[in-house]
Amino acid sequence: MISQDLLEILRCPACVREKEGLLKLERETWLVCQEPDCGRKYPIKDDIPVMLIEEGDKWASVAVEELPVPPPDD
């Protein structure tokens, strides 16, 4: 499980330069950017958030309720 302290400081790496880039924990294994024009989703694998923009891009068009739990190992 990812700590609440870590969740409070993590930001979407694609948005944080120009916006707040807040992330929301979804389905216990995904961090979803809350910026309206972003939609990137970052998986949490083995309790470690994968905060690569390329990883977030892969899941941007997938609805939150359709995200696989647990995230797949690529």
State the pLDDT at residue 71.
95
Amino acid at 46: D
The answer on pLDDT for 1 being more than 80 is: no
State the pLDDT at residue 36.
94
* CATH topology for the 4-65 domain: N-terminal domain of TfIIb (2.20.25)
State the pLDDT at residue 2.
84
Q: Each residue of 6-53: pLDDT tens digit? A: 999 999 999 999 999 999 999 999 999 999 999 999 999 999 999 999
CB neighbours (10 Å) of residue 19? Answer: 16
Per-residue confidence band for 56, with pLDDT thresholds at 50, 70 and 90: very high
What's the residue count for the chain? Answer: 74
CB neighbours (10 Å) of residue 10? Answer: 18
**Cβ(49)–Cβ(10) below 8 Å:** yes
Q: Where are the domains of the chain?
A: 4-65
CA 34 to chain centre: 9
